[in-house]
Structure 1
Amino acid sequence: FGGTNAHVILEEAVPEPEPASADDARLPSAPSAKGPATVPWLLSARTPEALRGQARRLLALVESEDAPAVQDVAYSLATTRTGFVHRAAVVGGDGEGLIAGLRSVAEGQPDPSVVTGTRSTGRTAFLFSGQGAQRAGMGRDLYAAYPAFAAALDKACQALDTHLEHPLK
């Protein structure tokens, strides 16, 4: 329990057990005491036919003898692939469920673990409320540490400052 002026730690968290072997982390995922973590496998392509082809190629990989870990596939698909117009997200907690959803994408069939759609042309906007509940100067630290964030914020400020009585920065 805790309070504004003091707090008490009653017990430390119990560490989660390590997999018995490296094979336990391969497809299908070995469930933990809490069950396997839910992960998304994200696919995209220029056409619906190409999306089904992507799913077939991924199926061949994840059903192979040396299949990568479920989480490794999710990470690679989310961070190393181009986001084309036609998209599918297969969500599951273990390799078997993800493979079943992936097979549905490959066959062009609906599945409760699959969401398909097309990219919208909308733009993303971020708003920093400035109320400072997390900590004062939080945006300043991001601005100083990450050049991409600084450039994006400068561009946003430049676009908005012409419409404001006072500049944002």
Structure 2
Amino acid sequence: GTGTSLGDPIEAQALLATYGQGRDVPLLLGSVKSNIGHTQAAAGVAGIIKMVLAMRHGVVPASLHVDAPSSHVDWSSGAVELVTESRQWPGVGRARRAGVSSFGISGTNAHVIIEQPEAAPAPVAPVAPVGVPVPWVVSGRSERGLSGQAARLASFVRDRGLSQVDVSWSLATTRAALEHRAVVWGSDVDELAAGLAAVAEGRVSGVVSAGRRAVLFTGQGSQRVGMGRELYDAFPVFAASFDEVCAEIDPRLPRALREVVFAEPGSETAALLDQTVFAQAGLFAIEVALWELLASWGVRADYLA
């Protein structure tokens, strides 16, 4: 890369001996030094950045300022070729692979092999039923920053006909979570915008402090007919967990638990939910399913009560 009479031949001969043997397609050799010079401690990461971008775009970039290959290297000892002009990444019938060498000052040596990842499916935003409240999350480095962010978001969404679910998804998954945060809830954009206005005016805010997370599962008395039914219909993780608990508990109950929990309000079956055996079993099934749903989103607890 730098044309040194000592370092370049050692590096090139190592590549010729390791990767240049028994090849039909030559190993393509380039250097990030030709773009930005010797970056000392950052040399390796600079090479990785260049190679990831090359892999992503399917282009092998040229090494700049090459007039002739070094005469100190025996280029005939293997199939290695200097890349003096940009070209499409050759197809080899498998994932693209590349080696990145970093030879820093005073013998800091490293070599990393990078392989093209499998194409990841695009994330799909959940679809919320009409009329169900959704959260919009905003944050800032300071109270002033939080207020300004809320005001800008309220102005942006006004009269644009945006889906409140899409905005919620984007705010939760594509924005930084800074120290000062606020969450507003609403069933439509107007209701959410009103909440943002309250944040912008400083009437709602909160500072996140370091700490651990505790989760409390409530006991008997909080049961209600139909609890969890919307979650069961909307989220397969919740439904699978609820069904798994029911499969274990049903043989020990006088009636199938799901029939009681999801009974029609006012029916004879619904009245069974207030019996201790069904109330506690039902709450346990719902709470386990709730926990599995949260866990599927990456939420973990330090304490459970």
Instruction: Give me the TM-score of the superposition, normalised by structure 1.
Output: 0.48
Q: Which of these two proteins has the greater Rg computed from alpha carbons?
A: 2
Structure with larger RCO (C-alpha < 8 A, sep 6+): 1
TM score, norm. by length of structure 2: 0.28
